[in-house]
């Protein structure tokens, strides 16, 4: 893609559409309540519960049992949380984490790795998944109720554009991890 075209047209500049943070506990009750408290402290937003889609006897999970919680962040909150979350993984994301539409996801093993988070023995330690959607202005045409239409192929964010955006905007290294 031509670099001059990207900088001259404000509708071509990628941006963070949303950040979804998910904690799966695998059990309802006290562990889920603790995870919800942790997620609310980290994001400043009240999480919603997610229910099991089917029964899995070996894990002791029944259909429609609450087993996870999630939060969707947009705008400034999304960027602020994403900066902290990327810092927790050492500002490195694997190139395999990106899909063809410019979205990417990564996991955080322990929530106390996020800067500014203190360990609370009453709550314990949980891991989480962070999913990020990179889009351009104008993606609303695919989601609106009236006169809905498709986003054209030339306006969609590609994997390469998303990688470049994350590198430039957040100073993140996109490469294989060497742990």
pLDDT digits (tens, 9 = 90+) for 120-172: 889 889 999 999 999 999 888 999 999 999 999 999 999 999 999 999 998 89
34 found inside a domain: yes
For residues 56 and 24, is the Cβ–Cβ distance under 8 A? Answer: no
Give the pLDDT confidence of 51-96 residue by residue, as tens digits: 989 888 888 888 888 889 999 999 999 999 999 999 999 889 999 9
18 found inside a domain: yes
| Token pair of 173 as six digits | 């290294």
- CATH code, 69: 3.30.1440.10
2 found inside a domain: no
Name beta bridge partners: 166: none
Residue 178 reports pLDDT greater than 60 = no
Percentages helix, strand, coil for the chain (3-state, rounded to 5) are 35, 25, 40
**Residue numbers of the domain that contains 136:** 13-172
Q: How many domains does the chain have?
A: 1
| Sequential DSSP letters for 43-106 | HSS--EEEE-SS-BGGGTB-TT-EEEEEEEE-HHHHHHHHHHHHHHTTSEE-GGGB-TTS-EEE
Question: Given this model, what pLDDT does residue 2 score?
Answer: 55
Residue 101 reports pLDDT greater than 70 = yes
Question: Given this model, what pLDDT does residue 160 score?
Answer: 92
Question: Given this model, what pLDDT does residue 7 score?
Answer: 63
4 vs 158, more confident? 158
* Average pLDDT value for residue range 101-120: 91
What span, in angstroms and rounded, lies between the C-alpha atoms of 128 and 109?
7
| Token pair of 61 as six digits | 């999970």
Minimal CA–CA distance to 13: which of 123, 105, 137? 137
Placement of tokens 């202005």 in the chain:
137
125 found inside a domain: yes
pLDDT band of residue 4 (cuts 50, 70, 90) is low
67 found inside a domain: yes
What is the model's pTM?
Answer: 0.86
94 found inside a domain: yes
5 found inside a domain: no
pLDDT band of residue 6 (cuts 50, 70, 90) is low
Spacing of C-alpha 137 from chain mean position: 19
4 found inside a domain: no
């Amino acid at each position: 893609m031509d670099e001059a075209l990207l900088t001259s047209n404000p509708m071509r500049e990628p941006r963070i559409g949303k950040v979804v943070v998910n904690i799966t506990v695998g059990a309802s009750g006290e562990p889920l309540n603790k995870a919800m408290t942790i997620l609310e402290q980290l994001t400043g937003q009240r999480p919603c519960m997610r229910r099991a889609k089917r029964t899995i006897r070996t894990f002791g999970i029944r259909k429609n049992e609450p087993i996870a919680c999630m939060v969707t962040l947009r705008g400034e909150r999304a960027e602020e949380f994403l900066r902290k979350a990327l810092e927790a993984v050492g500002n490195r994301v694997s190139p395999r984490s990106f899909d063809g539409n410019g979205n990417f996801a990564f996991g955080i093993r322990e929530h106390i790795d996020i800067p500014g988070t203190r360990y609370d023995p009453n709550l314990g330690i949980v891991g989480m998944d962070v999913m990020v959607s990179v889009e351009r202005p104008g993606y609303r045409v695919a989601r609106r109720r009236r006169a809905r239409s498709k986003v054209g192929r030339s306006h969609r964010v590609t994997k390469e554009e998303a990688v470049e955006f994350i590198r430039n905007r957040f100073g993140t290294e996109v490469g294989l991890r060497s742990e």
